[in-house]
Amino acid sequence: MKSNAASFESPSTPVESPAWHEVVAAPWVGIWQPRRTAAILAAATRPAFWASYAVGATALAVIVLTLTMWDASVRDYSASKAVDASALTGGSLVQVWREWHAQSVVGTAEWILFLVYALLPIVMGLGAWLFLPSVHCGGRIRDSLGRAFRAMTAGLGLFVILLFPFYTWIVLLKNMAELGGFPGRGFVIGTVIAILATACLFVTWLSRAVRGVVRMASPPSLPPRCEDCGYDLSHIPGDSLCSECGLHVDESLTPNRRRPGAAWQRGRSPGSWLATSIAVLFRPARFYAALRMREHDDLSHRFAVFHYLSIAAGAFSTTLVIAICEQIPIEAIIALPSFSTFFVPLVCWATHRLIGSVVTSWWVSRDRLPDVRWAATVIVFEATYLWIPCGFVALFAGSLAAFGPWLTQLSIRSPLPGTNVELAVILLGCTAICLGWFWRYRSAIRSIRWSNF
Ligand SMILES: [Zn+2]
């Protein structure tokens, strides 16, 4: 086994295909090494990869089917409230199987299997598309999408391993409720929080796996451009003016004059992180006009990670303060902040990636980027903008905690049918803020498009 993440540094490095049994086993034995696991799947031959996918999908289908049948078997006993001897001797799962197929050959079981097999590639394809800006470094977009899909497949083993105990526990809780021994709401809330926390970990795992399938294309050779209008300066003397817009050629081609880089690019520290965040949030056009676009390293990725961690901390503390002020029961004071600590960053991550992928797809389709990797750089720095919707929701929720449902009290009617006015304000406000994000990306592409550094 010679292929590893390092093999992907350059497309010219030959990647030796791993043995097929390594490929099939990789998603299960490689759960501690996301990058390596994804690299193995990316290097696999097509039949070996699809064998690995089929094993993962089948394991998922078997677990979902078996646990759903187990769930149905207990509900059957509790409905009659009497022990059916024939069901016990025949085995409860067999009984459920027979009931599911009493009417026709194709029963509930086949529908469950069909749903798992049909939905899985769609969900994984969507995941691959969300990660596409981090994977696509040039070449055909189909190839990048395929590699991102392979990184998603690397996570299939871990997903099944995580799903099994959670689904078992949920079925147990349901069974206890149906048989009259419900352990209490605290267990349900605890389960929801544990699922959210695990989902955060899983997303982190996938983000790491994706970096194992990146094939760093050598940077495209770009001609020197006028930073203002994009005019090709290849044959213009250094001491003259751009013949299109009149900007001095020196302005565009002297390193560090127009693009000294963000504070975060010049040095990594909490201070430079904060300074960069303030700059990108309040003056995006100026920030991107000064950003160095040709530096690609893992550290810029950390810029976004620190934002997610800060948002989690912010969500925890804000919800805790609101919960304490509201004088709700102690269980809720513990549960609500724990819930928002994981829920808010997850929603933020999904929105951030979704809008980033939409924008990148648009830029790629319109050929707006000289180097597609610049999209990933912009997306990383745009993580800062997540503070705007988070701040809006936190302030509004705080006002509700302090003054009660003041919009309802002012007799303002909800603009959205079927919701109260407070929920409508949060939904519409967040939608408007997200639409504003597209404007920011538009401003970013104008500032980076003719970057020489
Ligand atoms: Zn010009």
User: Which region, left, alpha or beta, applies to residue 18 given φ > 0 means left and ψ of -120 to 50 means alpha?
Assistant: beta
Q: Which amino acid is at 79?
A: A
CA of 450 to the centre of ligand 1 (A): 10
Q: Is the pLDDT confidence value at 168 over 60?
A: yes
Enter the tokens of residue 114. 């069909």
Q: What pLDDT, on a 0 to 100 scale, did the predictor assign at position 310?
A: 96
Least confident of 215-229, 267-281, 365-379: 215-229
The more confidently predicted of residues 137 and 88 is 137
CA of 226 to the centre of ligand 1 (A): 5
CA neighbor of 349 nearest in space, from 303, 311, 302:
311
Q: What pLDDT, on a 0 to 100 scale, did the predictor assign at position 155?
A: 95
CA neighbor of 145 nearest in space, from 203, 213, 206, 212:
213
CA of 232 to the centre of ligand 1 (A): 8
CA of 288 to the centre of ligand 1 (A): 18
Query: What residues form DSSP beta bridges with 225?
Result: 232
CA of 239 to the centre of ligand 1 (A): 14
Model confidence pLDDT, tens digit, residues 74-133: 755 545 555 544 444 445 788 888 888 888 888 888 899 999 999 999 999 999 999 999
CA of 216 to the centre of ligand 1 (A): 31
Cα dihedral sign, 304-309-314-319: positive
CA of 33 to the centre of ligand 1 (A): 48
Per the prediction, the chain carries an average pLDDT of 86
- Of these ranges, 191-205, 233-247, 299-313, 369-383, the one predicted with the greatest mean pLDDT is 191-205
CA of 319 to the centre of ligand 1 (A): 51
CA of 235 to the centre of ligand 1 (A): 13
Q: What pLDDT, on a 0 to 100 scale, did the predictor assign at position 326?
A: 81
Q: Is the pLDDT confidence value at 414 over 80?
A: no
CA of 356 to the centre of ligand 1 (A): 29
Q: What pLDDT, on a 0 to 100 scale, did the predictor assign at position 123?
A: 96
CA of 228 to the centre of ligand 1 (A): 5
Model confidence pLDDT, tens digit, residues 172-226: 888 777 776 677 778 888 899 999 999 999 999 999 999 888 876 677 788 888 8
CA of 330 to the centre of ligand 1 (A): 64
The more confidently predicted of residues 168 and 254 is 168
Q: What is the pTM of this model?
A: 0.86
Q: What band does 6 get if pLDDT is binned at 50, 70 and 90?
A: very low
CA of 32 to the centre of ligand 1 (A): 51
Q: What band does 58 get if pLDDT is binned at 50, 70 and 90?
A: very high
CA of 376 to the centre of ligand 1 (A): 26
CA of 135 to the centre of ligand 1 (A): 32
CA of 153 to the centre of ligand 1 (A): 47
Q: What band does 42 get if pLDDT is binned at 50, 70 and 90?
A: very high
CA of 367 to the centre of ligand 1 (A): 20
Q: Is the pLDDT confidence value at 32 over 60?
A: yes
Model confidence pLDDT, tens digit, residues 346-370: 999 999 999 999 999 999 999 888 8
Q: What pLDDT, on a 0 to 100 scale, did the predictor assign at position 75?
A: 57
Rounded Cα gap, residues 57 and 53, in angstroms:
6
